[in-house]
């Protein structure tokens, strides 16, 4: 097994000044991750490989202009690509993967978005081991490697991760936007269900390759925005079709969703980033439907999210998932783009693209390492049974700014991370750096 080696520096105590004040010096930069990352936001011990595969999903419908008018939808095959990351063997030195996506915006020339990864394409998977499996689902207009950093990070901590490219149709006008979004409403949970089913089918009899690594009893699901909308349904909450929005879906598509959501996916952990569908003007569930979710959940959102309505949408979902042990991590002052790679952009990039990729207040790289920290803690706890990771989520204060870890006069902090002994501070964060966050927690009701 190839492990990514983390070098630990020696802590030196230097006595300086008239009063012999102690200055604690410790490493602030660790291999593979910037020094400001909280503890579990740093690269894991496994080297990782990556591969992209195409899957054919049978018996799917597509809403067309004619179908929307008549309700007559044809059944066809749907083809989707999926990016997979997995723990890999040590091999010859190879260049890490580069993820290239062609971004299309209405009325604009296509342009490339590039992310540099840490995984090695087609690297040989580990053998004779099993790891939990996590499926990821992006938001409307997104793509499979939009948050490749999160997928790679989770894989580096000992998981097989697959990210769906849902292939949302470009909306270049009102009519096409209605059709495009209508298909997203139908496709998200169906894509998640069929892709997970096909991947689990690959594990049967597999003796090598990434499929042989998957522990089919330890499954997780991560969804962002419309991916979160699909994930809530995949976790067990059936849609309610008497709302103005959902009632407009053609009956054939409604029937396919009703049939698919009778049973949840066999997942043991759910993470949703800025989930869509709880806001009053587009609510797609009842409180009774949400009660059907009985697995632990972590919801992450910005409290200024005006896409999914934090106050009346996200918190409504959290409050009504009453059969779930659940957490709500909130980025104060953040809007909707709380997950996604830190993309290098040119000074002259059109604002439409910036608005899709960036957050107005928070830095994307900071969001990334915090997301990685909490996602790793939650998945390790719920899928691997690592009870120690519970303390990273059961924080001592709802508001991180009110956590206590006093600083002595003249003391140099130098990136020390809060451990079990700093039990009044958010575990895994550097002193003074657990800021701008809130964490609510609620247990499942009997």
User: What are the tens digits of pLDDT across the range 149-181?
Assistant: 999 999 999 999 999 999 999 887 888 889 999
Position 16 confidence tier, pLDDT thresholds 50, 70, 90: very low
Check whether 71 has a pLDDT greater than 90. Answer: no
Continuous H helices in 284-329: 287-290, 315-320
Instruction: Provide mean pLDDT across the span 142-150.
Output: 95
Judged against a pLDDT cut of 50, whether residue 2 lies above it is answered with no
> The tokens of 391 are what?
């303390």
Q: What six digits make up the tokens of 228?
A: 């979160």
Tokens of 122: 């087609």
Q: Token pair for residue 27? A: 């490493």
Average pLDDT, the chain: 89
The widest CA-to-CA distance across the chain, in whole angstroms, is 86
What would the mean pLDDT of 16-33 be, rounded to a whole number? Answer: 40
Distance, CA of 305 to CA of 386 (rounded, Å): 32
Query: Which residues make Cβ contacts (< 8 Å) with residue 404, sequence separation at least 6?
Result: 396, 397, 424, 425
pLDDT at position 419, please?
95
| 446 band by pLDDT with thresholds 50, 70 and 90 | low
* Residue 212 near residue 226 (C-beta atoms within 8 A): no
Determine the average pLDDT of the residues in 406-421. 85
Pair 37, 149: CB distance under 8 Å: no
pLDDT exceeds 60 at position 121: yes
Kindly report, residue by residue over 177-229, the tens digit of the pLDDT: 899 999 999 999 999 999 999 999 999 999 999 999 999 999 999 999 999 99
> Where residue 109 falls among pLDDT bands split at 50, 70, 90?
confident
What pLDDT shows up at residue 34? 57
Query: Tokens for 263?
Result: 């049973």
Report the pLDDT value the prediction gives residue 74, as an integer from 0 to 100.
Answer: 83
Query: Does residue 311 sit in helix, strand or coil?
Result: helix
In this structure, the strands spanning 120-121 and 48-61 are parallel
| DSSP codes joined into one string, 249-293 | S-HHHHHHHHHHTTS--S-SEEEEES-SS-SGGG----HHHHTT-
Name the nearest CA neighbour of 31 among 118, 126, 131, 154.
118
């Amino acid at each position: 097994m190839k492990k990514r080696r983390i070098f630990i520096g020696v802590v030196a105590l230097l006595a300086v000044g008239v009063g012999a004040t102690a200055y604690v010096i410790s490493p602030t930069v660790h291999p593979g991750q910037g020094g400001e990352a909280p503890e579990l936001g740093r690269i894991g011990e496994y080297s990782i490989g990556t591969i992209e595969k195409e899957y054919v999903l049978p018996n799917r419908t597509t809403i067309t202009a004619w179908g929307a008018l008549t309700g007559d939808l044809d059944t066809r095959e749907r083809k989707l690509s999926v990016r997979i990351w997995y723990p890999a063997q040590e091999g010859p030195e190879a260049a890490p993967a580069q993820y290239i996506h062609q971004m299309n915006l209405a009325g604009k020339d296509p342009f490339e978005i590039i992310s540099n990864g840490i995984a090695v394409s087609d690297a040989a998977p580990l053998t004779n081991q099993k790891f939990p499996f996590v499926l990821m689902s992006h938001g409307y207009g997104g793509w499979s490697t939009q948050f490749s950093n999160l997928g790679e990070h989770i894989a580096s901590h000992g998981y097989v991760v697959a990210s769906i490219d849902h292939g949302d149709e470009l909306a270049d006008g009102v009519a096409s936007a209605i059709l495009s979004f209508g298909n997203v409403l139908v496709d998200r949970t169906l894509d998640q269900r069929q892709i997970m089913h096909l991947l689990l089918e690959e594990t049967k009899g597999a003796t090598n390759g990434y499929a042989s690594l998957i522990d089919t009893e330890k499954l997780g699901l991560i969804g962002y925005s419309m991916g979160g909308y699909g994930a809530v349904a995949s976790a067990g909450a059936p849609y309610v079709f008497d709302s103005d929005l959902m009632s407009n879906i053609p009956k054939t598509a409604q029937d396919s969703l009703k049939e698919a959501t009778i049973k949840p996916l066999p997942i043991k952990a759910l993470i949703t980033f800025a989930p869509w569908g709880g806001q009053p003007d587009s609510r797609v569930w009842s409180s009774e439907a949400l009660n059907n979710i009985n697995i632990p959940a972590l919801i992450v959102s910005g409290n200024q999210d005006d896409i999914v309505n934090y106050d009346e949408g996200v918190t409504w979902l959290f409050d009504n998932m009453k059969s779930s042990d659940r957490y709500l991590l909130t980025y104060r002052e953040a809007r909707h783009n709380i997950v996604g790679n830190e993309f290098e952009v040119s000074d002259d990039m059109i604002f439409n693209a910036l608005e899709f990729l960036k957050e107005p207040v928070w830095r994307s790289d900071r969001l990334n390492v915090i997301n990685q920290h909490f996602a790793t803690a939650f998945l390790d706890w719920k899928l691997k049974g690592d009870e120690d990771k519970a303390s990273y989520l059961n924080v001592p204060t709802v508001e991180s700014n009110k956590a206590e870890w006093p600083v002595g006069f003249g003391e140099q902090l130098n990136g020390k991370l809060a451990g079990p002994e700093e039990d009044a501070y958010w575990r895994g964060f550097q002193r003074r750096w657990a800021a701008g966050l809130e964490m609510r927690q609620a247990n499942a009701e009997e």
